[in-house]
Structure 1
Amino acid sequence: MNHTRSVFIVMLLAVLALGAMIPRIVIDTDPENMLSAEQPDRLRHNEIRATFGLHDMLVVGQVNTEQGIFNPASLAAHYQLTRAIEQMEGVIAADLMSLAAVDNVEQAGPGTIAYDWLIPEAPQTQAEADRIRAAVERLPMYLGTLVSEDGQAAAIFVPIASKDISHRIAQEIQAVVETLDVSDAFHITGQPVAQDTFGVEMFQQMAISAPLAGLVIFLAMLYFFRSLPLVVAPMLLAMATVITTMGLLIGLGYTVHIMSSMIPIFLMPIAVVASVHVLSNFADRYRPGDDPKQVMGAVMEQLFKPVLFTSLTTAVGFLSLLTTPIPPVQVFGAFISFGVLIALILTLCFIPAYTVALKRETLDKMAEKFRAKEEQAAAQDAESLLSRLGRLPTRAPLAVVGAVVGLLLVSGYGIQQIQINDNPTLWFKQDHRIRVADQVLNARFAGTYEAYLAFRSTQAEAQLQQLNEQANRLFAEAERQGVMLDTRWEALWQATENEPNLGARLEALASEIDDQLFMVDADAQAVLETLLDAVESTRSQTRVFQQPEVLAYLDDLKAHLEEQGLIGKANSLADVVKTINRELVSGDPVDYQLPQTANGVAQTILSFQSSQRPDDLWNFVTRDFTQASMWVQLPSGDNQVMSRVVEAVDAYIAAHPLPAGLEADWGGTTYINLIWQGEMVEGMLWALFSAFIVVLVMMVALFRNLWLGLLAMLPLTITIAAIYGVMGLIGKDFDMPVAVLSSLSLGLSVDFAIHFIQRLRMALETTAGDWQAAMALVFQEPSRAIVRNAVVISVGFLPLLAAPLVPYITVGIFLASIMATSALVTLFALPAVISLAPRAFLGAQVHSNS
């Protein structure tokens, strides 16, 4: 207060210096980055993608419910749209899947297949459209994936180079759609575009929601304090807190993820809460003609401990997020905690400096308006409503405590009904174009959500070791018999070490041995021929996924999942082989089956290499046939759906063990979402529990009384129980926004209790230990400050309910609920519990004159 100019200058410099970092912002909306780069599931997911050349995909749906999709106009539009998408920057054109970009597989004669484009050019007649429909209906891999089974919709799967360009590509696709001369409905969805679009709209919404919430908070404070200059102070404090925190985060090189983007929304109420207590106390105390420094000094003397400990408990609540295994959540918790400490410093320094720097006339007018408001209220009612309500819990404590117990019982039941579930697409409101597209396309197709079940042989190393031992024995025996060889096994083996995979290495090795046969005598030829047989045998053994029994296992697993209704559809190498086998044999449905021999499988694969898109095969199997993948399509991206699929696969494998030497792993965006959200929930629960214990210890230390420490935790406990109980009762899933708000509820719910108990202890000194008289004093200015705070924050964040993004709505509802519930519990439950045993909580010396 004696150095106001210095305080303002330091604050301004900090805001300018750190605010200058904000334009360097780097945005990351990829939920995959919720996991650390070294997390095993993420490593395996990336390995699967690299092994099979898999990409994130957008899904474009075209729907014609009147004529169906198989008419010249619709198919021509589909063809034009496909060609346009292929030309877009960032699209992996070679892997794009569309009716206008895949093969028509049909028999050209016995043992011969014709591979032609399904739609070589835009059809002009209905006869051409009918031909295409007939061809599609013969190809099971396309039904449910590229065309709906009712023939009313077609889909284009658009692989993209990276997720962060999906919103841009979706906009370019929409621009092309608007040029098509067709009445069909088009929809664009897929997890990448949902995530990227959420990132774009998230920051647009942030630019609207944060200022709007600030405006409503400002108007609410203006209503209570009746002084424009005075209420500017908390808003400046909140802005400075947000700018310095975000500036530091960006300046230190952290990307702004979905989590950290919500830091401003979270910091706004936290930054304002303490300052509202200070200003409320100041406004109640100040009288025209008073010395502002003396009044503010008395206020800070009284509120220093509550302000300090409420800030520290809030900081602890968010620091607990550092114990979670989710890096963006750790960053979120760390910088929210930093912002809380900045808000604390500004509350203790800037608010007093700003207040005493105001003109006396301004403060006097504020005081006169306050007095006029109080006199008006007194004229209407000799006793304030708050004072009357304050006597209720002390006069009927058992009723209040009984109501609290009942609330906890109901909440406990509700908590048991909570389901842990999330789906990034559901972060949009139901009428959002992404959500509409998701509902329409997943109702018609096998699913726009994908996961990959990857299988790999674990015996390759053992088989190679066996080959090495056999070759070494063979060469050693030849040497004992005096057979002269120009080369050694080690040299042959090392000469092929640069081949890209095991199959290629064994093939190169066989070729090298075959060349050697023409340069040696008869005895050496016999040795090399034996070695060549061993290499060819090993090569055959390692090509696990050319074995009919292994492919049959994949096919049976797929059929089981589809029959159970757990997935929309799955495709694997077995589906490719069955399709080619049918056309090679007869073209009749009866031959849509796996060949009975490995050579028969190899023949179908060799035939597929003549297709227009031979590299599609390597999306299902590696070139050495030691690994294979199954593409699983899901009509829902919910965690619970993916979890049930994983459990079903585990149960099937337990009942029908994998072929010897095989193991299975999951990959794909839907599976990764399940993993990071599971780790987040587990981490959040641990963080909440650990922070609860730390805050309890802090409360006991603050009040130097175990019972008061436990009492201070009551609003926190009841608030969390009530909010999550209601959530379970109304069927709201426990998702990412809800999990993160746990920390906010821990930090804010205990604040009012600290102020209430601390002011009650101070009031006891004024009333010479009369606890009921002290309680009456607390239900004057201190309780007014609590109510003002609760109203300001609750009302201030209600505008978030109009946001188009569900997480913002969730934040708005939770913030309002946390503030309102914790205030009510503080003002009703705490006095009731205290009145049951006042000496236990307040000391043996307290008494009552009532």
Structure 2
Amino acid sequence: MFEKKTSFLFLGIAVSLTLAIFFFRPKVVFDYDFESFFPQDDTELSFYQTFRNEFENDNDYLLIALGNTPDIFDPIFLQKAGNANSLIQDLPFVEKTVSLLDLEEPIINAFGIRYDRLLDWSNPEQLAESRNVIHQSKEFRGNLISQDSKYLLLIVKNEQRISKEDGDLLYASIKSILEDSGIEDYYSAGKIKAQGEFVSLLQKEFAFFLGVSFLLIVILLYLIFRSWWGILVPVVVLAFGILWTVSLSLYTGKPLDVMTVMQPTILSVIGLAALVHFFNHYLKFLRKGVEKDKAIEKAFSELVLAVFLTCLTTALGFISLYFTSIPSLKLFGLYTGIGVILMFCAVVMVGPGLLYFIAPSTTASRMDLAEKWHKGMRNLFLWTLYNQRLVVLMFILVSAFSVFAASQVKVNGYILDNLPRDHELVEEFNFFDKVFGGSKPLEFYVEAGDKTETLMELKTLKELDKLEQFIANHYSSAAILSPVTLVKGLNKAQNSGNPKAYAIPSQGQWLRMQDFIEKASESLPSKVISTDYKRGRISTRTEDMGSLKSKELNKDLKVFIENEIDPGQLKVKLSGTSHLIDISHESVTKQMGKGFGIAFVIVAVIMGFLFRSWRMSLVVLVPNIIPLLWLFGLMWILGVELKLTTAILFTVAFGIAVDDSIHFMSKLRLEMSEGKSWFYALKRTYLETGKAIILSSAILVSGFSVLTLSEFGVTYYTGLLISMALIFALLADLLLLPILLIPFKNIKKISDFQSSRP
């Protein structure tokens, strides 16, 4: 299959395919949509989509805080802020802005309803009166103005479900207006800003890791082969594999996202590990005096099955993520899995042909180094044999500790989970959490109970007010917008704007305001009640406290509703995008179990098919499960929390870690096929395969360690945890696997294994 003629044919096909990509270049698109991390099979998502269609998307806003010292009640500052606000209102994709700058309060009198401007800075007397009214009104302090009066909040409500491109244009325009406003102290936070910042960082990191990956590869190849051809051939092969994978993604309409940042490094180290096995085998034949063309053919022919199986198990480890319910993980797993197979194709289609062209016919023996490797592996094998009980005891103790640690690892995640907590974007969101009650949307769906006709019944409104007070205190939320807000505002309007009248009205006052409810509801910043008054929403913001704390608060909310709210008057349900993200993190056990279970079964089937023995395949899987247990121990020691982006790594790590075991067992099968005794075949396998396993593991660990340089949380933890899993797997393969295989020598005909001879 790998004769010179066939290899040149494969190389020609690969080059033609690559040239076609350059002639018909796909459009490079970067994107980040945090809604792609929502679990698609959760009923909460379909409920929220219905809720969103009736009311609005809860995160289509940008928060802007404009600051002034000593306070915002400065005519010059307010004029600058007013000008900026007017310019922002006129921008495309802006539906409205909400702030004290243009807020009007309703006043109901005998002649009907009129609206008075809340903040008037036209003269000192009006400004002083406005300041007094705002300070006395509890619905504004800590909401549209900070408690210390140093910051004015401007809420920009943008077009519903705005596209990434339009959101970028809008934020760029808003940023330009703020920079030219003359106001130096300002903060901003919101989806259109976060998505733009994420994509900008994504583009930088994609280019960075692509460059660093190739630099690392060149260094490793030089250290391993000390030859120009040993660097050039792998670099060309890996470039082909990465180009094919990225092009496939773009051709099929999948943009490059936060998960794609890892692909160049992942594919590079996997492809390089495969090439090292082939090259070592090729050099071994050259040292034995085999002619160059024959050495290339034999090296690739003997190892192609083993390398294919290692790539297949790695690919299936990624593809198993497709069976989770998170769109971003599904597509990352699918395309990375396909990318691993494409990288294998690049290795076997490009590698042999290039070797025929440029590889040397002979190689320096370097017997001293080879002898050192042989001696080192022999000593390690003998030590393992003489200390079997110690090795087994060590693995049992560490695994037992890891099982305990697994029960202690907490499930917790944040909205901006992919960024470090000290990142500038996170700090701006934290500013709004501390000064204005929160940046994270918090939504509740409310519905009239069986004992009432609408939410606008006075008794129902009192139940709703009781619920709002609990939400405000329990979640430490920002100001709340709801049907109660509407009614309290009308009651205040009926009392000449008296701040003390911002409360649930009496029976008589409630009856008098009926004619004004419809018009007043239209003047609210957001829709809070349906046209038939049977359904509504409680909308507020809270800090990004993490899914763990949110889960505890939500449990308390459930208890409060069950004990304090009359279901006949009011039905309540938590909803919103933040709630869906919390659910995503809380479902990590389910997602991890589903992905790992599928990966485990697939790998077990492959191992059973390869070795014709289920007992043998189960024994081989043991050293690859232990590293995953040890990861839990490491996470507990380091304080790493379990979340969606860390849970999926167990499946990926399993698919990669099992590769060394497959190489080991494939070599053992080859030794047995030559008629060697079980124990001698095991010894020869250990001495010859050990070096390749160590080298490939070193390459993989080095490659994945580069990912710890990332600012994205998912990329950082991928590098850290998979690197450690590979180290643990190497220890298990070199120390535990031989001990588990030794008892097979006592099987009379070794029928469990010898039947797998080629």
Q: TM-score, normalised by structure 1?
A: 0.80
**Please, which moves more after superposition, 747-756 or 322-331?**
322-331
CA distance in 2, matches of 1:247, 1:220: 27
Q: 1:140 to 1:778 in 2, by over 3 A?
A: same
Superposition map of 1:365-376 within 5 A? 367-368=363-364, 371-372=365-366, 374-375=367-368
CA distance in 2, matches of 1:413, 1:84: 59
Q: Secondary structure at the match of 2:4?
A: coil
Residue 562 of structure 1 pairs with residue 472 of structure 2: yes
Equivalent residues of 1:19, 1:244 under 8 A apart: no
Q: 1:73 to 1:277 in 2, by over 3 A?
A: farther
Equivalent residues of 1:417, 1:729 under 8 A apart: no
Which of 638, 643, 663 pairs up with 1:755? 663
- What is the CA deviation profile of residues 197-251 of structure 1, one whole-angstrom value per residue up to 9, with x for unaligned ones? 2133213311211231232123212210112222333333332222222322332
Equivalent residues of 1:572, 1:630 under 8 A apart: yes
**Alpha-carbon distance, 1:446 to partner:** 1.0
**Please, which moves more after superposition, 129-138 or 822-831?**
129-138
Q: Secondary structure at the match of 1:24?
A: coil
- What is the CA deviation profile of residues 450-508 of structure 1, one whole-angstrom value per residue up to 9, with x for unaligned ones? 02212234779xxxxxxxxxxxxxxxxxxxxxxxxxxxxxxxxxxxxxxxxxxxxxxxx
**Which protein has the larger Cα radius of gyration, Structure 1 or Structure 2?**
1
Residue 414 of structure 1 pairs with residue 409 of structure 2: no
**Alpha-carbon distance, 1:841 to partner:** 12
**Alpha-carbon distance, 1:756 to partner:** 1.6
Equivalent residues of 1:719, 1:821 under 8 A apart: yes
Counterpart position of 1:435: 426
- What is the CA deviation profile of residues 348-387 of structure 1, one whole-angstrom value per residue up to 9, with x for unaligned ones? 3332222222253xx53xx21xx33x42675xx6964444
**Alpha-carbon distance, 1:746 to partner:** 1.8
Q: Secondary structure at the match of 2:537?
A: strand
Which of 123, 144, 147 pairs up with 1:146? 144
CA distance in 2, matches of 1:706, 1:345: 29
Q: Secondary structure at the match of 1:176?
A: helix
Amino acid at match of 2:692: A
Superposition map of 1:261-300 within 5 A? 262-287=262-287, 290-300=290-300
**Alpha-carbon distance, 1:601 to partner:** 3.4
CA distance in 1, matches of 2:272, 2:281: 14
**Alpha-carbon distance, 1:585 to partner:** 2.9
CA distance in 2, matches of 1:456, 1:258: 38
Amino acid at match of 1:600: Q
Counterpart position of 2:756: none
CA distance in 1, matches of 2:486, 2:373: 86
Counterpart position of 2:240: 240
Equivalent residues of 1:552, 1:594 under 8 A apart: yes
CA distance in 2, matches of 1:22, 1:412: 50
Unpaired runs of at least 5, structure 1: 461-540
Q: Secondary structure at the match of 2:446?
A: strand
Counterpart position of 1:135: 133
Which of 373, 379, 390 pairs up with 1:399? 390
Q: Secondary structure at the match of 2:98?
A: coil
**Please, which moves more after superposition, 30-39 or 320-329?**
30-39
CA distance in 2, matches of 1:674, 1:841: 56
- What is the CA deviation profile of residues 787-819 of structure 1, one whole-angstrom value per residue up to 9, with x for unaligned ones? 111112222233332223222222222332233
Counterpart position of 2:172: 171
Equivalent residues of 1:69, 1:153 under 8 A apart: yes
CA distance in 1, matches of 2:341, 2:374: 39
Superposition map of 1:191-340 within 5 A? 191-260=191-260, 262-287=262-287, 290-340=290-340
Counterpart position of 1:827: 734
Amino acid at match of 2:416: T
- What is the CA deviation profile of residues 27-63 of structure 1, one whole-angstrom value per residue up to 9, with x for unaligned ones? 4422224458886433332332332245511212234
Q: Secondary structure at the match of 2:557?
A: helix
CA distance in 2, matches of 1:316, 1:841: 35
CA distance in 2, matches of 1:175, 1:280: 58
Q: Secondary structure at the match of 2:455?
A: helix
Which of 2, 16, 38 pairs up with 2:4? 2
Which of 69, 72, 84 pairs up with 1:81? 84
Q: Secondary structure at the match of 1:216?
A: helix
Residue 13 of structure 1 pairs with residue 16 of structure 2: yes
After superposition, the CA RMSD in angstroms is: 3.3
CA distance in 2, matches of 1:33, 1:242: 24
**Alpha-carbon distance, 1:614 to partner:** 4.3
CA distance in 2, matches of 1:799, 1:699: 31
CA distance in 2, matches of 1:822, 1:690: 20
Q: 1:686 to 1:842 in 2, by over 3 A?
A: farther
Equivalent residues of 2:439, 2:543 under 8 A apart: yes
- What is the CA deviation profile of residues 283-311 of structure 1, one whole-angstrom value per residue up to 9, with x for unaligned ones? 33323964223223332343233212212
CA distance in 2, matches of 1:101, 1:842: 89
Residue 574 of structure 1 pairs with residue 468 of structure 2: no
CA distance in 2, matches of 1:596, 1:324: 53
Counterpart position of 1:797: 704
Amino acid at match of 2:407: Q
- What is the CA deviation profile of residues 304-354 of structure 1, one whole-angstrom value per residue up to 9, with x for unaligned ones? 332122122223222322322233433332222322222233333332222
Residue 671 of structure 1 pairs with residue 579 of structure 2: yes
Residue 627 of structure 1 pairs with residue 620 of structure 2: no
CA distance in 2, matches of 1:287, 1:296: 13
Matched residues, number: 746
Amino acid at match of 1:579: G
Equivalent residues of 1:421, 1:640 under 8 A apart: yes
Unpaired runs of at least 5, structure 2: 754-758
CA distance in 2, matches of 1:382, 1:295: 22
**Alpha-carbon distance, 1:748 to partner:** 0.5
Superposition map of 1:684-699 within 5 A? 684-699=592-607
Q: Percent identity?
A: 19
CA distance in 2, matches of 1:21, 1:459: 63
Counterpart position of 1:49: 52
Counterpart position of 1:537: none
Q: Secondary structure at the match of 1:119?
A: coil
CA distance in 1, matches of 2:24, 2:426: 35
**Alpha-carbon distance, 1:671 to partner:** 1.8
